[in-house]
Structure 1
């Protein structure tokens, strides 16, 4: 819940390490690494990429400048966050959408737009909290989603990130958390 302090346990940190080890070994992340090096966004070191992904996705930060440390990029984008205002923040993963709908925790209210081959925007209720619009890729791997959001956060921070996916124009928006030093996806 946004507004409630969080921190990672030793077990959660071990899961993050295992997850990073797994995705960093994929062709998607190898291509991401090469792209970021070739375009001057990171140095030629896998430890720099790992540290960058850790900072972007797993370091906790406060969602508001005066609030508790209550969020991280992975939670916001891949899982979704409940707000005290009975709304949903983030939630841009088709896998999470599928699992939550399958478990009866999510009710699809509207498909706002669907573009072929891989994008959809929906309105839904999750644990009785409303999300008026959430866009996400369909059928992509978690490492693909993390690669795209990471590249956009590093290359087009706080701006629209436009690219082509299977001959279709796509644009996504990433935000840095301005009141926290370093890079975070929020």
Structure 2
């Protein structure tokens, strides 16, 4: 049995990030963790309905990530691929060097050493280190054509599909941006970076079995939107994934080792329905491994996809019918301090650029200097507030400029508006649902106003 090898790979991941989640009362289980994972609420099931008011990653220690050669080498690979699944993929000499550098680090890691020792002893007898390295390059990085149910998909690579993701959408249509679907995209590092740069929107968790973060902090199953932008920041396609997921905190070396072992076991008929059931830490998982399908229907020598399915653990709570009991955390709004968000116009008639606004009311008894203050949206994108002294009882109208894609954007469907002081502390927060065109939303009652 090889089940214990997967656990050994998991246990020896020295480059793992620690993860803290929220308990059923909404408090963080470990405020000192490298990652604070905020799963919040169950997804509604539609790309148009976003119930998660906050990002999935409340905090990531990006300084730790920047100091790691392994993570930085992995990140350098993420921009080597075209988003559209039919666009040609080639490997330039510079990209080949980046791949080889990443493989150096992965092969030297303890998780991959454990995988190699087992594979060479039990699956591919007397495999040399050189042969293993060539296999790693081929299965993860070599460009191939996949044949499935009579259809061929060109320009496939295992790394792109698993860790970067691919977009399926129409090209060259008349609208400013297209709606499409996400294929692959099973990397917490990629999602955290995309969320940091406002390229993805977390819509909520989506589990069949198991529960959200408090049940197991090292995995998430979710619904998401990936906003594919061109080089100038214009939105090209809004890509939706109704159900996807990834490990959280595990290093690229660990995930490569788990996937590589599952790949070889699949070739030797040791998977059940293309899945390997394993215990990793406190959780039970199905590791799903899809191999390339060749033109004759046999298993090829490339990886098509690899991802975890969380099956729960001993702490999973169920009701009398066996259904998982999840206690969603509601995001508490606060708008009762001296500074309050009075009203907003999220959906002005015509073009939204520069015509949206938010009013801030000084409901206190003292004047307040607003230097360094800013409004933010759900994704944390800022709209700086004018550096003025707001006298007691006065109201300041702040224009939401949408100066760049990295600045505050007010959604017409559902939104969150927060006000922060110069130190970043949140002073007020409000949310809203569907905003009709031209409707001014009121969040506070201004006495005598």
The two structures have a TM-score, normalised by structure 2, of 0.39
Query: C-alpha distance in 2, partners of 1:109/1:155?
Result: 35
How many residue pairs were aligned?
186
Aligned to 2:120: 37
Q: What are the equivalent positions in structure 2 for 1:1-186 lying under 5 Å apart?
A: 1-41=84-124, 43-64=126-147, 67=152, 69-84=154-169, 86-113=180-207, 114=212, 115-127=215-227, 128-156=238-266, 159-179=274-294, 182-186=300-304
1:102 and 1:153, CA in 2 relative to 1: closer, same or farther beyond 3 A? same
- 1:99-131 per-residue CA deviation (whole Å, 9 max, x = no partner) reads 111110000012113351412111100021001
Aligned CA distance change for structure 1 residues 42 and 122 (closer, same or farther; 3 Å): farther
Distance in 2 between the 1:130 and 1:63 partners?
23
Unaligned runs of 5+ in 1: none
Higher relative contact order (CA 8 A, sep 6+): 1
- Determine which structure has more spread, i.e. the larger CA radius of gyration: 2
Question: CA 1:46–1:27 in 2, change beyond 3 Å: closer, same or farther?
Answer: same
Larger relative strand fraction: 2
Compare the two structures and name the one with the higher helix fraction.
Answer: 1
Does structure 1 conserve the Cα–Cα contact (< 8 Å) formed by 2:204 and 2:224? yes
Relative to structure 1, is the Cα distance of residues 68 and 173 closer, same or farther in structure 2, using a 3 angstrom cutoff? closer
Given the two structures, how large is their TM-score scaled by the length of structure 1? Answer: 0.91
Give the 4+ runs in structure 1 shifted more than 6 A: none
Contact 2:146–2:293 (CA<8 Å) still a contact in 1? no
User: 2:123 and 2:136 mapped to 1: Cα distance?
Assistant: 16
Q: Is the 8 A contact 2:216 2:282 kept in 1?
A: no
Q: Which runs of 5+ in 2 are unaligned?
A: 1-83, 171-179, 228-237, 268-272, 305-449
